[in-house]
Structure 1
Amino acid sequence: MKQSNKKRKNRYFHYQKEILNTIFEPASFIGSNYRYIFVNNAFNNFYGKETNETIGETVEKIWGAENFEKKLKPGMEKCLAGQPVFLQYEGKIPNGEVKVLEMNFYPHRKPSGKIDGVISTANDITERVRAEQALKKSEAQLQELNATKDKLFSIIGHDLKGPLNNILGFSELIENGFDKYSCDEIRKYNKIIYQLSTSVSDLLENLLTWSRAQRQKLTVSPQNLAIHFIVEKCFGLLGQNALQKEIRFKNNISPETIIYADEEMMTIVMRNLISNAIKFAYRGGTISVSAKNSDEMVVVGVKDTGVGIQKEKIPCLFHPDENHSNLGTEGEKGTGLGLIICKDFVEKNEGEIWVESEPGNGTVFYFSLPAKSNS
């Protein structure tokens, strides 16, 4: 009787093995002790194994300890408790390749009904998942391009046209009433024209830079740079703007502080951040620039004594599809384009940019860049 039962069990198991060998998916029978009892031909072909390399070995050894503990064992435990499990596995497979698999675990039952292992099958969905990810990335890029286009049209249609019309209007006032206006009145109108012209000039410079960046015409050429001297250069370029509001500059960066970045891009970033600080600083205030080393990065901070930024507006500052431009402390206009360029250029140089601010207590724009390269 015992021999007869043993023969039936062997025939039953042989029948199951024959079925698993007929399917094209990698399939295996794993015992309750997580050791391989059987693998089909597709398993060997897909995972680059020979039968004798796998049979008797644990799933942990074949797949690696971390993959087993975190990705496979939890599902197998549920399966051994009687629940079929369907999961998506992403990572290294036994032959060392990185794949995305649909894995199915089915409880294996003895003729008596007792669960003694797991039947595992897998389906390679790597190409499908990669295609879906590429499509999502493409859709995100398209949305960003559309936002960029809308932002560009908005700037050209409103933010550029408005100041130019005002320049023409005040110029016409001076031209037609030169003899009847006092020197103080002409100086007043001329100051307005100067401020508007500066705003238009900055805007055009940013538009051209941004346009080149969007068309991938800018290449990153990093080198070791003393950030102190880039700050001094930008202070010189923007000195007249600061003088108009009686704002003082402070360069607290040591000449020995070295960053590894593209010089032109970092000059544009620094000029935009300092220009932005001037716009939102109160008359008679201070703009200070500092830097400190953090791990293998240099963190630069541009601080103003100005109006600050409301907390809910901070997440929108670096997005082209958000309208977050505000008037400066003396009515200066802006588009927010400068901050978008700053984010783009900092990230192109392997850094990050962020802001800390509190309404009424000023703002600090921080950005990180790689420290000096020794190569």
Structure 2
Amino acid sequence: MSYNMYLSALLMAATCCSLAISYLCWKRRELPIAISYGLGMLTGAFYTFGYAFEIVSTSLEHIRFWLRIEYMGIPFGTVLWFIMVLQYTGRQALVRKWLVATLMIVPTITFVSHHTNEWHHLFYKSMTLNYSEGFPLVTLVKGPLYKLHVYYSYSFFVVGMVLMIQMFIKEKLRMKKQVALMIIGSWGPYGFTLVYLSGVIYMPIDISPFGFIISGVFYMWGIYQFNMLRLAPLALQKVFASMQDAVIVFDLDNSLTSFNQSANRVIAGINNKWIGQPAVQVFSQYPVLLEKIKQGPFMEGKVQLAGHADEQFYNVHVSFINDKNQRPVGKMLLLSDVTDMVRSEITLLENARQLRELNTFKDKMFSVVAHDIRDPLAVLVNLMELMEEEMQTYGEDQQEIVNEMGQQIHNTFTLVESLLEWFRSQSGGMIFKPVERDLAQTIQINIRLLLVRIENKQIHIISEIPKDTFVYADKEMLDLIVRNLLSNAIKFTNFGGTIRLRADRSDHKVVVSVSDTGDGITSDQASMLLQEDYPVSSTGTAGEKGVGLGLTLCREFVHLNGGEIWFDSTPAQGSTFYFSIPTLSEASSKQSDSLRGGRA
């Protein structure tokens, strides 16, 4: 049997090797480089398959047929290999549709001219059979289009090899092995073709296809032994692409090899052009991620990425990717969005804080009630006992005692009324529900509730609060604050006096003032007012008495709504009580600050 049969069998083995690599690339077709690499190996399979049958053919017609099969792959192999080199060396950004279309012009001319050579003979000037080796071989006289094809292919081969050699020089030792395998594998078909075309060594047959045997061996070795992550990352599976969490894959040199679609929502601007870029460039805006990917495997929760204006929080998990021998071949960064969980946690903490404040206030109010209700009730009991004794013993007129009892009963009623206001405002379990309210409308409603007292003392009420002045506060609490301050102003204003209400905006807050023309507050009273838990109630200008609970409630309610309360007073000229209340914009800003402060 002639040796051409052995060579044919060897070429069929090379064909199978190329097809196997193409199949592996098809399984990993989500990665652009796998497509160009796989198609390149498929063109080699056409070449080796066609030549395997060409060297065992017995007629010129059969040889022409198998040459056409070979040239279904030969013209396009170099361009596909060059595209693969661009992607492999980190120049994915250059691979555009227009560039690929331009590079394919000459291969297309080669393909068409070869299949139509009988019409023009510009590719092969002549084709004859040669029996010098004991079996028919074709002798080809090359035409100008064949030379164009050769020059074109080797020009790209030289540029591609320069790029891979540059990469080999720059890479670390572990990566040098992978690049070396790629260089040796690429030299296989091109090196053999160069020897054949140069004529340095006499070769009766074209040895170019046998170079694919060298390529197949080294490529398969690289894929299985070194697991070329740049060509076939282990993490790139269907589940990887569809995950809601962002997954970003790096090799051991911290160069980007792959990422899923969810990563686009987390890392600004990431795209396929970044494949092969170092982590320093990928995470230039996210130093916290860069630091973690360099450290190695770890898990850290609730990290806010810099530059995210929408306050997004992520759990960060970095792990090694191991091959079948449990050797690290890369790193995987997993980012899980936990923003909703963090915000819920912050809301719960804020609710817990408010609940603690309300419970503390409740306990304080119970103490106030116990203190304030004890004395008037004790006086009532004593007066009642005294009245009974005197009425039984002397039978005298007890008008003075009855008047004092009436005053004490009135005080007790006022206290109970204040307590009812408090409990009514907290019905449903002490729930704090701030809403946006029209301040001018709130003032007018509460003025109407106090109209009888205002008219009895002939007091002039002037409200300078413009319409559509909106504040953000709990409705019941705001009503109680306004009503108590108005009630106190009425109490301490002389007959025919004036009460003036104003509202001024200041730093996203509204400062409300209630001014009266009463007697003012003494320095001793001023030092204790709004400071003590149990203030002593003063008598009004018409002899009105209170229990001292109103301002305590005002102070607590203003604080709960995020404001402050204070006063100015000039003896014999009157007093002005101020309280601030937030607007909706300020409340939203505080919530954002709370979110930033709650970051782990």
Q: Which moved more, 1:250-259 or 1:193-202?
A: 250-259
Residue 356 in structure 1 maps to residue 566 in structure 2: yes
Q: CA deviation at 1:366?
A: 2.0
Q: Distance in 2 between matches of 1:343 and 1:196?
A: 29
Q: Which residue of 2 aligns with 1:294?
A: 505
Over 3 Å counting, the alpha-carbon distance change for 1:275 and 1:177 in structure 2 is farther
Q: Which residue of 2 aligns with 1:338?
A: 553
AA aligned to 2:578 is F
Residue 14 in structure 1 maps to residue 220 in structure 2: no
Residue 271 in structure 1 maps to residue 483 in structure 2: yes
Q: Which residue of 2 aligns with 1:44?
A: 261
- Map 1:100-119 to 2 at 5 A: 100-103=313-316
Q: Which 5+ residue runs of structure 1 have no aligned equivalent?
A: 59-67, 107-117, 315-322
- Map 1:77-226 to 2 at 5 A: 88-90=302-304, 99-103=312-316, 120-126=333-339, 128-130=341-343, 132-137=345-350, 139-144=352-357, 146-151=359-364, 153-174=366-387, 176-177=389-390, 187=400, 192-216=404-428
Larger Rg: 2
Over 3 Å counting, the alpha-carbon distance change for 1:342 and 1:181 in structure 2 is farther
Over 3 Å counting, the alpha-carbon distance change for 1:265 and 1:353 in structure 2 is same
Deviations 1:244-271 (A, max 9, x none): xxxx966342486565699987654322
AA aligned to 1:294 is R
**Do 1:174 and 1:186's aligned partners in 2 also have CA atoms closer than 8 Å?**
no
Q: CA deviation at 1:195?
A: 4.5
Q: Distance in 1 between matches of 2:465 and 2:359?
A: 42
Residue 324 in structure 1 maps to residue 533 in structure 2: yes
TM-score in terms of structure 2 length: 0.39
AA aligned to 1:327 is V
Name the SS for the 2:229 alignment partner: helix
- Map 1:228-307 to 2 at 5 A: 229-230=444-445, 232-233=447-448, 236-238=451-453, 251-254=461-464, 268-276=480-488, 288-294=499-505, 299-303=511-515, 305-306=520-521, 307=525
**Do 1:227 and 1:255's aligned partners in 2 also have CA atoms closer than 8 Å?**
no
Q: Distance in 1 between matches of 2:256 and 2:510?
A: 56
AA aligned to 1:365 is Y
Q: Which residue of 1 aligns with 2:526?
A: 308
Deviations 1:130-189 (A, max 9, x none): 554354345335434533553454355443243223233234434544697999x954x5
**Do 1:353 and 1:368's aligned partners in 2 also have CA atoms closer than 8 Å?**
yes
Q: Distance in 1 between matches of 2:380 and 2:250?
A: 81
Percent identity of paired positions between Structure 1 and Structure 2: 17
**Do 2:462 and 2:499's aligned partners in 1 also have CA atoms closer than 8 Å?**
yes
Q: Distance in 2 between matches of 1:298 and 1:173?
A: 53
Over 3 Å counting, the alpha-carbon distance change for 1:77 and 1:191 in structure 2 is farther
Q: Which 5+ residue runs of structure 2 have no aligned equivalent?
A: 1-163, 169-175, 183-221, 276-282, 320-330, 540-544, 585-600
> Which has the bigger relative contact order, CA under 8 A and spacing at least 6?
1
Q: Distance in 2 between matches of 1:228 and 1:153?
A: 29
AA aligned to 1:28 is I
Q: CA deviation at 1:291?
A: 0.9
Over 3 Å counting, the alpha-carbon distance change for 1:287 and 1:175 in structure 2 is farther
**Do 2:461 and 2:500's aligned partners in 1 also have CA atoms closer than 8 Å?**
yes
Over 3 Å counting, the alpha-carbon distance change for 1:7 and 1:136 in structure 2 is same
Over 3 Å counting, the alpha-carbon distance change for 1:302 and 1:99 in structure 2 is same
TM-score in terms of structure 1 length: 0.57
Higher fraction of strand: 1
Q: Distance in 1 between matches of 2:570 and 2:295?
A: 60
Over 3 Å counting, the alpha-carbon distance change for 1:221 and 1:18 in structure 2 is closer
Q: Distance in 2 between matches of 1:221 and 1:136?
A: 23
Q: Distance in 1 between matches of 2:344 and 2:437?
A: 33
Q: CA deviation at 1:77?
A: 6.4
Name the SS for the 1:215 alignment partner: coil
Over 3 Å counting, the alpha-carbon distance change for 1:357 and 1:155 in structure 2 is closer
Over 3 Å counting, the alpha-carbon distance change for 1:287 and 1:266 in structure 2 is farther
Higher fraction of helix: 2
Q: CA deviation at 1:301?
A: 0.9
Q: Which residue of 1 aligns with 2:126?
A: none
Q: CA deviation at 1:101?
A: 0.5
Name the SS for the 2:286 alignment partner: helix
The alignment's C-alpha RMSD in Å is 5.8
